[in-house]
Structure 1
Amino acid sequence: MFQVVVLCITHCPYSVFLPTGVVLIIARRRGLPIARCLLGVWHRPWECTVGEQSVRARISKRVVDGLAPHPSGAARVCAWDAEIKGFGVKVYPTGRKVYVVKYDRRGKDQTFTIGEHGSPWTAEAARTRAREVLNAVAGGGDPSADKQRERTALTIGEMIEKWLEEGPMARPTKREWSWVTDRSRLRRHVAPLLGRMAAYEVTRRDVEKMQARIAAGATAGDVKTGPRGRAIAKGGPLVASNTVVCLSAMFGWAVEQGLLKANPCLGVKKVKPAKRQRMLSRDETARLLDTLDEMVAVRTLRDSHAEVLRLLLLTGARKTEILGLMWREVDLERRCILLPEARSKTGARDPIRLAVPAIEILQRQNRGSDYVFPRADGMGYVVGLQKVWERVRKHAGLEDVRIHDLRHNAASIAVNQGASLYLTGKMLGHRNAMTTQRYAHVADDPVQQVAENVARAIVETRSSADKL
């Protein structure tokens, strides 16, 4: 009978129905908190309770996927593991699921957040981490306190390096080139402005100020990247807006890891750069092609850089798609380039079509490397295209033309030649038809020409009548 009563007190939320004297006696013998026993709410956190509607089972992907938010609308632990005491899954009203470990530390319940269900925290990965946490507790450690100390001590600069090191494992589908871009934005724009701040102290207002300063050019400059390397960090509204997006991704990961409680980038209104499209005239296009030939002839421009720029001009492809082009992605027989999802900004994209001049460029290249345009030392593909372009456009008198404008130019020519916006979008690899709508005004030009022709015919008719 004694064991039955103890079981009721330690496991059942209905122990309030036991006689008060019995509760006090057993509580003293068991060393349990008397007040909580009298209230009838004492239970071990890893046991299922009726009030929380938890389930007790071996936590697996199937179990976690089947969990639903608590009917009360509050964030609750909806499942406890049947094998590892204290290991559970907390479900938020939004459906977000987080792995947690509860343990006792000197008579007080502590909760350690492992991370959000998904990548990298699968059920098995979280189970392994839970064992590590509980082993640390058994050895006298306090993982929650350790994590809190790390959270409060971590600066933005340190978090940037932590994100760049661990982020690729947490975001395995993110393209390698995107990480290169993020690294540049975080180190050249965020670190100089927020790097010394404690991560937990950063507010939305701090992010807004950072964005404004980047837009104003506060972080622009010539940056040394190595013993012989330099890079130009540019500011401006577009860079500022993209940097906030990049920083928000880092903060989102930090929240998942329990390093921060909230993402300070949420709610920040990003600056909108003025939309700008620059198209080349026939004369400018000819001047650019002549400049490439001349600079290669006098050896002020490497042939590989010139060929990349020619291919960008002819195909309308993105810079990264051509720079990192590999021979296995080229199908000359079918006259196209087939990029894997990881190499395209929009994931799976339509083939990049190759006209005869583009095919001739590819046929001229040496196949001694996996890359179509390799570096001179054979280590990867050619780099430094931005610096090269700045010299080329200056020599050609096209100083307001960006590399990306070559892509806009190809699209504009296609539309001017009568191609529909749908086909133009397919050529450019747009997944969203709305993206191609920016060229709709170009499609209207032939209509304007028709109107001009009609008006001219009417005027000429009147002139002829006058002559008669």
Structure 2
Amino acid sequence: MADNKINFTKAALDALPLPEAGNRATYHDTKTNGLQLRVTSNGAKTFSLFRRVKNGSPERVTLGRYPDMTIEQARTETTRLNGLLVQGINPNTDARALKTETTLQELFDDFLQHRRNKRGAFLSEKTKRSYRYDFGLYLGKWGKRKLSQFKDTDFGKLHAEIGKEHPTTANRVIAMASSLFGYAAERKLFKGANPAHGIKKYPETKRDRFLQSDELPAFFTALAEEANDTLRDYFLISLLTGARRSNVQEMQWSQINFDRAEWRIPTTKNGEPQTVTLSAEALEILRNRHTDKAGGWVFPGQGASGHLVEPKKAWRRVLDRAGIDDLRIHDLRRTLGSWQAKTGASLAIVGKSLNHKSPSTTAIYARLDLDPVRESVDRATGAILAAAGLKEAADIIPMKRNKG
């Protein structure tokens, strides 16, 4: 037996002698546990996995003929099957169970439909859209693969591949994959260690970009030149309210109270409603739009949702006209908060106005009413417009509606 243990290399396997007629020789790979090569007297060489299962009985699984199946392929398949055997799945007797096992695509579909967050709520439509995009781009290629066929090296390689150019995205994709397998374990769709867990994440630099004083005049000039009133007003309301992008896109007239100068958002990213104070400038923009009201959406769109979704082209036009680089729509939200801080607002006031939720400051936020928030937002809005050259003292200079 000792002589039959060799390191499987192409040179070694090609040089193996043929056994006598009617006999068969078996060779064992020294690098992969259980991998064998059986050689017949007529020269046929076949890879197989041989090992004892939990009850002690021997099991052999035929893998393929050499050299049609390469040594590396045989080793990879042996490692995969060893993993199944460890889980109690016998590839010979449990073939039917293996065929009906959940695939990654099936798991993902079930996850989107039934997954709940820590507060017991189903995933938001925005979160589902984000998951679908990342899954389709990075994990969809594995959609038909059975869950038991995944190894941690699969996700480690994927993380490294994506991370070469997009480290933050790589972290997000692996976090989603880990959540999927965690969910599969909860639903008893998967046994074994989570193959996407424990992968070291790339360090992420928190973004601190916002509109600076010297950028504001050009930015507002570029906005005023935007021919599409809906898109222009969307950008302005995003800036003047500091609300999250998706919430502004989904703003409805029924949520606006002009008398109280408030916008009530039923559900936000942190799972709670938010009352947004509306400055005089924001109110004027909304009143101008209200005269053109058609349907329930403040910013209607052409897609299936009925409201504005992704105004990337218009945003690019504005930035190009303004000569501004590296500014995202989400940075408008950060701009209001930054200018609130510049004009003397406390972190608690900023957090309340932007609906940030932090365990250490939640109690403080809960005791705040809208009056100090309104004062802070009005002061910051005034400073922004003054820096842009659009406002002096308490004067409001509205943007004219484009005709067309």
Report the TM-score, using the length of structure 2 for normalisation. Answer: 0.59
Q: Tell me, what secondary structure is at the counterpart of 2:269?
A: coil
Partner of 2:348: 422
Structure 1 segment 134-173 matched on structure 2, within 5 A? 148-151=98-101, 154-164=102-112, 167=115, 172-173=121-122
**Is 1:320 aligned to residue 246 of structure 2?**
yes
Partner of 2:232: 306
Contact 2:104 2:144 in 1 (8 A): yes
Change (3 A) 1:323 1:258: same
Contact 1:238 1:271 in 2 (8 A): yes
Change (3 A) 1:281 1:169: closer
Contact 2:117 2:123 in 1 (8 A): no
Change (3 A) 1:202 1:291: same
Opposite residue 308 of structure 1, the aligned amino acid is Y
Partner of 1:285: 216
* Equivalent of 2:311 in 375, 385, 408: 385
Instruction: Give per-residue Cα distances to partners, 1:135-164, cap 9 Å, x unaligned.
Output: xxxxxxxxx99665322xx44345434544
**2-side partners of 1:376 and 1:435: how far apart?**
40
Shift in Å, 1:308:
0.9
**1-side partners of 2:339 and 2:226: how far apart?**
26
Q: Tell me, what secondary structure is at the counterpart of 1:245?
A: helix
Instruction: Give per-residue Cα distances to partners, 1:29-69, cap 9 Å, x unaligned.
Output: xxxxxxxxxxxxxxxxxxxxxxxxxxxxxxxxxxxxxxxxx
CA RMSD of aligned residues (A): 3.0
Q: Tell me, what secondary structure is at the counterpart of 1:351?
A: strand
Partner of 1:92: none
Instruction: Give per-residue Cα distances to partners, 1:335-393, cap 9 Å, x unaligned.
Output: 1221123xx11111441111011111111223321211111478510122233322322
Opposite residue 357 of structure 1, the aligned amino acid is E
Q: Tell me, what secondary structure is at the counterpart of 2:226?
A: helix
**Is 1:268 aligned to residue 216 of structure 2?**
no
Q: Tell me, what secondary structure is at the counterpart of 2:181?
A: helix
* Equivalent of 1:237 in 133, 156, 167: 167
Instruction: Give per-residue Cα distances to partners, 1:190-245, cap 9 Å, x unaligned.
Output: 224x445432222233222212222224xxxxxxxxxxxxxxxxxx1222222222
Shifted more, 273-282 versus 302-311: the winner is: 273-282
Change (3 A) 1:371 1:155: same
Contact 2:266 2:274 in 1 (8 A): no
Shift in Å, 1:331:
2.0
Opposite residue 181 of structure 2, the aligned amino acid is F
Opposite residue 334 of structure 1, the aligned amino acid is R
Shift in Å, 1:423:
0.3
Q: Tell me, what secondary structure is at the counterpart of 1:274?
A: coil
Partner of 2:326: 400
Change (3 A) 1:158 1:391: farther
Shift in Å, 1:428:
0.6
* Equivalent of 1:294 in 225, 232, 253: 225
Opposite residue 339 of structure 1, the aligned amino acid is I
Opposite residue 310 of structure 1, the aligned amino acid is L
* Equivalent of 1:204 in 145, 152, 155: 152
Partner of 1:351: 275
**2-side partners of 1:315 and 1:169: how far apart?**
27
Change (3 A) 1:181 1:150: same
* Equivalent of 1:180 in 106, 129, 136: 129
**2-side partners of 1:382 and 1:156: how far apart?**
32
Contact 2:299 2:308 in 1 (8 A): yes
Shift in Å, 1:182:
0.9
Structure 1 segment 113-152 matched on structure 2, within 5 A? 148-151=98-101
**2-side partners of 1:147 and 1:395: how far apart?**
61
**1-side partners of 2:140 and 2:305: how far apart?**
29
**2-side partners of 1:159 and 1:286: how far apart?**
50
Q: Tell me, what secondary structure is at the counterpart of 1:258?
A: coil
Contact 2:250 2:297 in 1 (8 A): yes
Question: Identity rate of aligned residues, in percent?
Answer: 30
Contact 1:369 1:378 in 2 (8 A): no
Q: Tell me, what secondary structure is at the counterpart of 1:352?
A: strand
Report the TM-score, using the length of structure 1 for normalisation. Answer: 0.52
Structure 1 gap segments, 5+ residues each: 1-143, 218-235, 297-301, 437-468
Contact 2:112 2:123 in 1 (8 A): no
**2-side partners of 1:434 and 1:210: how far apart?**
36
Shift in Å, 1:401:
0.9
Contact 1:350 1:426 in 2 (8 A): no
Contact 1:244 1:265 in 2 (8 A): yes
Opposite residue 150 of structure 1, the aligned amino acid is T
Structure 1 segment 55-74 matched on structure 2, within 5 A? none
Q: Tell me, what secondary structure is at the counterpart of 2:126?
A: helix
**2-side partners of 1:424 and 1:202: how far apart?**
45
Shift in Å, 1:167:
4.8
Q: Tell me, what secondary structure is at the counterpart of 1:337?
A: strand
Contact 1:288 1:396 in 2 (8 A): yes
**1-side partners of 2:307 and 2:241: how far apart?**
19
**1-side partners of 2:103 and 2:347: how far apart?**
48
**1-side partners of 2:206 and 2:304: how far apart?**
38
Change (3 A) 1:378 1:335: farther
Change (3 A) 1:381 1:420: same
